[in-house]
Amino acid sequence: MIYYASINSYKNHQMNGTMKVLLIFPDIGSFHSLQYHPGLASISGMLKTHGYDVQFEYVSSKSDFDQVLDHVKKYRPEIIGFTSVETQFIYVKTLSNLIKEIHNCVIVCGGVYTTLFPEVIENTESLDAIIRGEGEYPFLELVRSVEKIQPFFHINNLAYVDKTTKKITINPLNPLITNLDELPFPDRSIFNFQQVIDKHQLVYFMFNRGCPYRCTYCCNHALARAYGMEVNKMRFRSVKSCMDEIRDVLSHYKFKGMLFFGDDLFIHNKKWLDEFLDAYKKEFSLPFMCEIRCNLVSPDLYKKLRNAGCTNVTMGIESGNDFIRNNVMKRGMSKEQIFNAFSWAHQEGIVTTSTCVIGLPFETSEMIDETADICAKTYVRFPGVNIFYPYKGTDLRKLCEDWGFLPEGIENIEIAERKESVLRYPHISQQKIQNHFLNWQKNVFRKRSLIYKIQFYPKLFLTLCKKGINLGIRTLIKSK
């Protein structure tokens, strides 16, 4: 077995007594802009629990590369771990190459992209291995192996290229973690978390993993395939563990805003949800927001959420066109379910945010307008929009490949994730999609009813009325 870690790095570890790990989150031009990553937080929690030293770098632009390199020179980590989605991997390649030029250490990369497409390591010589799937235990095993100067390529979930034969080996995946309570709490300290809280006025939590739906643009159906499953089965932390984590976070950070439960399907398990809401209501008085699904809600569920402190929910409309939403995206959701979901939330006094996707295969400009229409006609307060990106491993990526929509060399194209279209359609231009994106809020507002505008935007409505009156007066004066 070949081992490529630096002996000098090991000597550095012997002198300092503690293995050092640097975790890096590339997030250049993305729509997130949140200097917190739950996956890296969980890995850091695992490593620190076992006595290892962990530091973090957030990369929001190419200008941050020098800062990362300076950090590497001073910190001298034995292991560097990247996380990456597909659109960020081009920066992982560049930055890992630069790091290898100044510091000999083990560099790995994990995330959904490397899980679904481990072959990416064949063209990335600066990476020693790819970590696939859930990374807490494989990363811990990797650190222990490097600490003992032992080979690590046998570890499950790793993929690597043999430097001699140039052939890739993809190791088996560990079974998914069924008891999430066995994991340490996510380590938020590496993120300068107080600054994150102060900037966004929310604290981010995740209490479950998985999603049983098979939406074609999302990674969950592809992750299920990688693990040999029909669906990505859901796994939940115990309610006691959730309450303990919330209590722990609130005891360490100053906070007056809102808690954000960012699970894809916070409300999916009704028994767990009832227990969670009862426990939360008894112990905490802070408002919270959560992500839910239109086909899983009811007036009674909204009452339970509201009584426990829920003030905001996010739901996916995704597309207002039935063909795009249900045939292309496989959402399995009717317009009636969408309208009811937002109407019931409004009746209960819960503020709603919607997510929509435009620039999908076969979607015309008129279909995009249908999505704006449905946003305008519901009670959604904050109608969000993303531009579709065909993520590797998903069913819609395969469709785009089959229909010739992908540009050549897509892996080398730098793009603002979910803010630009990378696809080449015969029926709609990239510029047209971009125009819809840039004018989204204005178009939705224009389509709103007069009653809605008066009710939710009274100051803006009065301003527009004054402008209209002034314009009318000036017109009359000029006509005379």
Residue 32 has which token pair? Answer: 């997130």
Which residue from 116, 125, 117 is spatially nearest to 92, judged by alpha carbons? 125
**What average pLDDT does the structure give for the chain?**
91
Which burial class, exposed, middle or buried, applies to 173 when counting CB atoms under 10 A from its CB (0-12, 13-18, 19+)? middle
Residue 367 has which token pair? Answer: 């279909």
| Lowest-confidence pick of 31-35, 127-131, 148-152, 438-442 | 31-35
> Counting every residue, how long is the chain?
480
Q: Tens digit of pLDDT for each residue in 370-429? A: 999 999 999 899 999 999 999 999 999 999 999 999 999 998 999 988 999 999 999 999
Sequence-distant (≥ 6) Cβ neighbours of residue 108 within 8 angstroms: 79, 80, 81, 82, 127, 128, 129, 130, 131, 139, 142, 158
Q: How far apart are CA 109 and CA 107, in angstroms?
A: 7
Q: Where are the alpha helices (DSSP H) in 187-334?
A: 193-200, 220-226, 239-252, 270-283, 299-308, 322
Rounded average pLDDT over 351-365:
97
**Torsions phi, psi for 127 (to 5 deg):** -95, 130
| Lowest-confidence pick of 16-25, 206-215, 285-294, 302-311 | 16-25
SS3 assignment, position 398: helix
**What single letter denotes the amino acid at residue 439?**
N
pLDDT score at 469 = 53
Torsion angle in degrees (nearest 10) through CA of 186, 389, 219, 401: -150
pTM recorded for the entire structure: 0.90
Long-range contacts (CB closer than 8 Å, 24 or more residues apart) made by 302-307: 302/344, 302/345, 302/347, 302/348, 302/350, 303/348, 304/273, 304/274, 304/277, 305/267, 305/277, 305/348, 305/350, 306/348, 306/349, 306/350, 307/277, 307/281
Secondary structure (DSSP) of 253-273: S---SEEEE--TTTTS-HHHH
pLDDT score at 4 = 41
Q: Answer for the pair 214, 221: CB distance below 8 angstroms, yes or no.
A: yes
Residue 119 has which token pair? Answer: 């072959």
pLDDT score at 112 = 95
pLDDT score at 184 = 97
Residue 440 has which token pair? Answer: 């989204």
pLDDT score at 2 = 36
User: Any bridge partners for residue 261, and if so which?
Assistant: 205, 290
pLDDT score at 118 = 96
Rounded average pLDDT over 437-451:
92
pLDDT score at 147 = 95
Q: Percentage of the chain with pLDDT > 90? A: 82
Q: How far apart are CA 431 and CA 438, in angstroms?
A: 10
Q: How far apart are CA 437 and CA 358, in angstroms?
A: 8
Q: Answer for the pair 428, 364: CB distance below 8 angstroms, yes or no.
A: yes
Angle at which helices 440-447 and 365-377 cross, to 10° = 60
| Lowest-confidence pick of 57-66, 274-283, 345-354, 449-458 | 449-458
Q: How far apart are CA 131 and CA 417, in angstroms?
A: 23
Rounded average pLDDT over 313-333:
97
Q: Which DSSP letter does residue 448 get?
A: S
